[in-house]
Amino acid sequence: MKKMKDRIYFSMGYACNNNCLHCAVDCERRTKNMSTQEVIAFFERYRNYKNIEMEISGGEPTIRPDLLYLIEYLYTQINIPYILLSNGRRFSDLNFVSKLAEFPPQSIMVALHGHNAELHDKISQRKGSFNETVQGISNLYEYRLNVVIKVVLSKVNYRKMPEFVEFVAQTFPECEGITINGLDISGKALEDRDSLAYKLPDCIPYVQKAIDCANKYNLKIRIFSIPLCLFDESYREYVGLKNRTTIMCKSPEEESSSVSLFYGTADKCAPCIYKSNCSGTWYNYYKYYGTDELKPILKG
């Protein structure tokens, strides 16, 4: 089996043009971005690395006026393949998309929070952001760029997951796939925990119905940051597994040897036959809600 690339998760900064309710970055850090030269210096550290890819995130990277320059530098000078994470609003500018397509990412992961403007804009706290994001996704497809649509679950939207998948499947038949992600109770999400956080078992019926809907349309779907044992057996194949041994992380303030420091399985999971492959969930969840609902699977 071919070894998967190690992934460098790279946050260029925390500035953003949305103010999402569930954001894992606290408000105090929202204005901090790395300079152009700091980003270039970070790229250069990995010039001679082999079998790696870079996941570029924020904040919102597309609001940087130097992003296209930085992408071109990474693509042509460092020669590292990259994935771009975005809220998608800037892609509503077709000219911007045309320039990005000259140095195409392996995929673009676009955050969409709901199946209509009312729900999405309520979560993003930016009126009109749904329409911009939807137009942005359409523009990306016009240039035949690979798009994965990402949604983060919260009390505000998890009951609407079947409708969300239905909307994506009908609106974007070219979609490469959907990822449904558990909530990281940190940053702004921690400040509003009572109105956003949920017990994981509560969301499972809606996520499983969303999987059924995706299968109806032959749409790829993966679930992350929700323990595999919570799902009925027939749905476990859709739960994202650990697939990389090394993830490096950089932000304007800190560097970590592995993003997995922030999520994973619990001690209770030790006897589970899936422990080595289950991504578990965010450690903050165990902190606030415990591990009572985890049910280690002892045999296949």
On whether the CB atoms of residues 152 and 118 are closer than 8 A, the answer is no
**Residue 51 Cα to chain centre, angstroms:** 22
pLDDT on residue 89: 98
Beta partners for residue 181, in sequence order = 152, 224
Summarised one tens digit per residue, pLDDT across range 56-79 is 998 999 999 999 999 999 999 999
Q: Which two tokens stand for residue 78?
A: 């460092």
pLDDT on residue 26: 77
- Nearest CA to 64 out of 111, 10, 22, 117 is that of 10
Report d(CA 147, CA 105) in Å as an integer. Answer: 10
On whether the CB atoms of residues 104 and 147 are closer than 8 A, the answer is no
Report d(CA 162, CA 210) in Å as an integer. Answer: 4
What is the chain's pLDDT, residue by residue, as a tens digit (300 residues)? 566 788 888 999 999 999 999 999 876 666 778 999 999 999 999 999 888 999 999 899 999 999 999 999 999 999 999 999 999 999 999 999 999 999 999 999 999 999 999 999 999 999 999 999 999 999 999 999 999 999 999 999 999 999 999 999 999 999 989 999 999 999 999 999 999 999 999 999 999 999 999 999 999 999 999 999 999 999 999 998 765 555 677 777 666 655 556 888 999 999 999 988 898 999 999 999 999 999 999 986
pLDDT on residue 241: 72
Answer whether the bond into residue 240 is a cis peptide, omega within 30°. Answer: no
State how beta strands 147-152 and 177-181 pair: parallel
Report d(CA 246, CA 266) in Å as an integer. Answer: 20
In angstroms, the Cα distances linking 64 to 86, 108, 229 are 12, 16, 41
Measured in residues, the chain has a length of 300
pLDDT on residue 246: 59
Strand order across the 82-86 sheet: 221-224, 177-181, 147-152, 107-111, 82-86, 52-57, 6-11, 247-250, 255-256
Report d(CA 190, CA 206) in Å as an integer. Answer: 23
Report d(CA 18, CA 41) in Å as an integer. Answer: 28
pLDDT on residue 70: 98
- Nearest CA to 231 out of 222, 244, 220 is that of 222
Domains of the chain: 6-289 (3.20.20.70)
Q: What percent of the chain has pLDDT above 70?
A: 92
Residue 133 exposure: Cα atoms within 13 Å on the Cβ side: 31
Within 10 Å of residue 140's Cβ, how many Cβ atoms? 24
